[in-house]
Amino acid sequence: MPYFDPEGLARIGNLELVAKQVVEGFLTGKHRSPYHGFSVEYLDHRSYTPGDDLRGLDWKVLARSDKHYVKLYEDETNLRAYILLDCSNSMTFKSNGLSKLQWGSYLAAALSYLLLRQNDAVGLLLFDTEVRTYIPPKAHPTQFRRILDTLDNVKPGGETDVGAVLHEAAERVKRRGLVIVISDLIDDESKIASGLQHFRHNNHEVIAFHTMDDAELTFPFERITRFQDMEGAGRVVVNPNSLRKRYLSRIQAFTERLESDCHERKISYNLANTKEPYGPYLAAYLDKRHRIG
């Protein structure tokens, strides 16, 4: 189906059409609310009365005392989601099909559509070396158009400082919710881990989509090649065969370190290869999330 082929997506160029097609074609009907019903920590209990939602029962108290108590929450609400999209120059890299930024924009659009469809609030934050654009979460129907207009007009620029920006974003995002980071995470691993930990410290749930081009992961180059720093002026001409083994070892260590750091902090780490159409990728992720619970 052309909607889910990277080259087809690039030809369409309509984020609204593509987002709706992905969500309605793959996700809706399987499990309609993979993120729905988030709420803050409970403060107290009250006795259960007929008609209360059984999901609010404190099963641990029931097991200990054989008494039925319902958790009282400080702020029962639908989910508030914050999508953080890296718009630095390195995200413009592409070896075929979509760039990392294009792929990430489609992913952000589909997630926004999904969340708003289930009446959750969603916001968008664009960043490179700093926060460039911030749209606070809302569940209003006009929010999707506002997010799409922003994504349609995004212009990459500058270097990136992922770790520092994550700290800045964590200071902006006051109310507890779901934080979705879409980035190639090109930065010092310890700085990234520290930035993500800031969100966890503030009791957010965090999902990281580590967005990489297939060439970055497989290094398929054979001939003498000129490589250019996407975020600087550096250029070098080398024989790829002389550094393939070392490069692949480094990139594997990089991704494994990020995954390990996320796992330690109870953050969902997901490596995304832009060679894979993002529709099936997102559907597979949500299926896994649904199974794990």
Domain match, 190 and 250 both:
yes
Residue numbers of the domain that contains 63: 42-73
Q: Are residues 92 and 60 in the same domain?
A: no
Return the CATH number at 26: 3.40.50.410
Q: Are residues 140 and 270 in the same domain?
A: yes
Question: Along the 293 residues of the chain, how does pLDDT read in single tens digits?
Answer: 333 444 544 444 455 555 566 555 544 444 345 555 444 444 455 565 666 666 666 777 777 777 776 664 444 446 889 999 999 999 999 988 899 999 999 999 989 988 888 788 899 999 998 999 999 999 888 999 999 999 999 988 777 789 999 999 999 987 888 999 999 999 999 999 999 999 999 999 999 999 999 999 987 766 555 555 444 555 665 656 667 788 889 999 999 999 999 999 999 999 999 999 888 888 888 878 767 65
Total structural domains within the chain: 2
* Cβ-based burial of 244 (10 A; exposed 0-12, middle 13-18, buried ≥19): middle
**Do 92 and 52 contact (CB within 8 A), yes or no?**
no
DSSP 109-139: HHHHHHHHHTT-EEEEEEESSSEEEEEEEE-
3-state secondary structure of 269: strand
Residues 66 and 145 in one domain: no
117 and 97 in a single domain? The answer is yes
176 and 148 within one domain: yes
**Torsion angles phi and psi, residue 199, rounded to 5:** -65, -45
pTM above 0.85, yes or no: no
